[in-house]
Amino acid sequence: MPDISTLAIFCAATLGLLIVPGPAVLYIVTRSVSQGRGAGLISVLGVHAGSLVHVGAAALGISALLAASATAFTVVKYVGVAYLLWLGVRKLMRRGDDQELIEIQVQSKRRLFWEGFVVNVLNPKTAIFFMAFLPHFTDPAAGPVGVQILVLGVLWIVLGMASDGTYAMLASALAGRVRGSARARRRLDVGSGVVYLGLAAWLTTEKA
C-alpha cells in the first residue's frame, strides 16, 4: 500500500487536475443546467462509474494494450465520437415547447446514469490518463502494483465525485431562473448540443 506521504502528494496532484474543467465536467454542467441538480448529480455517479472501469483496466494492464494499439484506440475513440454526435444532434433538433419540459421532468434516472457512464467509459483518453498517472505513485516494494493502482484509482474517484458534484450544484443553482422559460430551454438545448458536438470534436483531436 502507498504510504501516507505518497497519498498526500497524490491527493494534491489529483485536486490540481480535477479543478480544471474537462470534457466530463462540461457534460455534468450541461446536465445540471438543462435538467437540474438531481440530474447533474446522477450524471456525476454515471461518469465515475465509468471511471471505475478505467481504473480496473489500468490495474489489469488493459489500458497499456489500448495505448499501444493505434487501431484499438481509433475504434474506441470514434465509437465515443459517434455517441456524442448523436446526443448533440438530438438536442439541436428538439423543439422547445411545453412537452419538452415534461420530458425533462420525467426522464429516467437510469438513463441519465447510463449516458454519463457511456460518455466516460468510451473516452480512451481517460483510460490512457489512468495508466500514465496512477503508476507514478506506486512502489513495487510496498505490495502488488495492481492493488495499489486500485486504491489510488478509488481515491481519485472519491475526489472526482466531490469536485464534479460541486460543479453540478453550482451549475444548477445558476440555472434555476431560466428553466421555466420555453425560449431559455431552447437556448439550453442548443447550448447542450454544442457542448456534445464540442466533446466529439475534442475526442477526434486526441492521439494515441
* 87 within some domain: yes
> Is residue 30, in this structure, part of any structural domain at all?
yes
Give the pLDDT confidence score for residue 181 in this predicted structure. Answer: 55
Rounded CA Rg of the chain: 18
CB atoms under 10 Å from CB of 109, counted, come to 12
Sign of CA dihedral 39, 82, 160, 177: negative
Q: How far apart are CA 104 and CA 127, in angstroms?
A: 31
Q: Is residue 90 part of a domain?
A: yes
The residue written with cell numbers 481517460 in the block is 126
If one counts the domains in the chain, the total is 1
Q: pLDDT of 49-81, one tens digit each?
A: 999 998 988 888 756 665 667 676 567 667 767
Is 16 inside a domain boundary? no
Domain hosting 131: range is: 22-205
Residue 3 lies in a domain: no
What is the C-alpha end-to-end distance of the chain, expressed in Å? 30
The secondary structure of the chain in percent helix, strand, coil, rounded to multiples of 5, reads 85, 0, 15
Residue 14 domain-assigned?
A: no
Q: How far apart are CA 203 and CA 125, in angstroms?
A: 8
Per-residue pLDDT of the chain (208 residues; tens, 9 = 90+): 767 888 888 888 888 777 766 677 878 888 887 788 888 899 999 999 999 998 988 888 756 665 667 676 567 667 767 877 887 788 788 765 444 433 444 467 788 899 889 888 887 767 777 877 787 787 777 777 788 888 899 999 999 999 999 989 988 887 765 555 566 566 666 776 777 777 677 667 655 4
